[in-house]
Amino acid sequence: MSKSICATAALAAVLAATPILSSAKAWEPTKPIEIVVAAGAGGASDQMARMMQAAIQKNNLAKTPVVVSLKGAASGGEALIYMKSSDGDPSKVLIAYSLIYMLPLSAKIPFNWRDLTPVSVVAMDQFVLWDNAKGPKTVKEFVEAAKAASSPFKMGGTGSKREDHVLTVFMEKKTGA
């Protein structure tokens, strides 16, 4: 994602999370705002959180500090359990992706995404099936090659029990490859 797109997405997230002034009293944090990242340092979620942190601080959008907490252990499960244990704490927000509903299904952790309140969608990812340049050119050819492989056909992805893994297992079950 380019810096300008990320910056625009971060600013949009900040603006979406900032209450519009009205006759009702707006919520204001009484302690530091914690942006929880369900991934490790340097990844897209971490970068998004740090851009949001910088935009909030640069534009004085909060009277309290904004901190970024990386909780990527257990494929992001650490962040989900942490958020569950923080039920009712409005000073904590989670930067997450489909792991919030995929990981509990595959890893059987005691978490339900419905227990969170969505604030804003700030980015969307597309899944792309890539293959070696000399390999299959269509999904049909890819599945046929997987079925014909004499040794186990290898797929790669971003992590165990994550979208890539779950989609690979789904493809395997659906195609018999």
Six token digits for residue 122: 């700030």
pLDDT band, residue 4 (cuts 50/70/90): very low
Average pLDDT over residues 109-122: 84
Question: In sequence order, which ranges of 42-88 are alpha helices (DSSP H)?
Answer: 44-58, 77-85
DSSP for residue 113: G
Instruction: Give tens-digit pLDDT for 33-74.
Output: 999 999 889 988 899 999 999 999 999 999 999 999 999 888
CA–CA gap between residue 50 and residue 39 (Å, rounded): 13
* 64 SS3 class: coil
CA–CA gap between residue 128 and residue 117 (Å, rounded): 29
pLDDT at residue 100 in the model: 85
User: What residue spans define the domains of the chain?
Assistant: 3-115, 139-175
Does residue 167 have a pLDDT over 70? yes
Note the pTM of the prediction, 2 decimals.
0.65
**The domain at 3-115 falls in which architecture?**
3-Layer(aba) Sandwich (3.40)
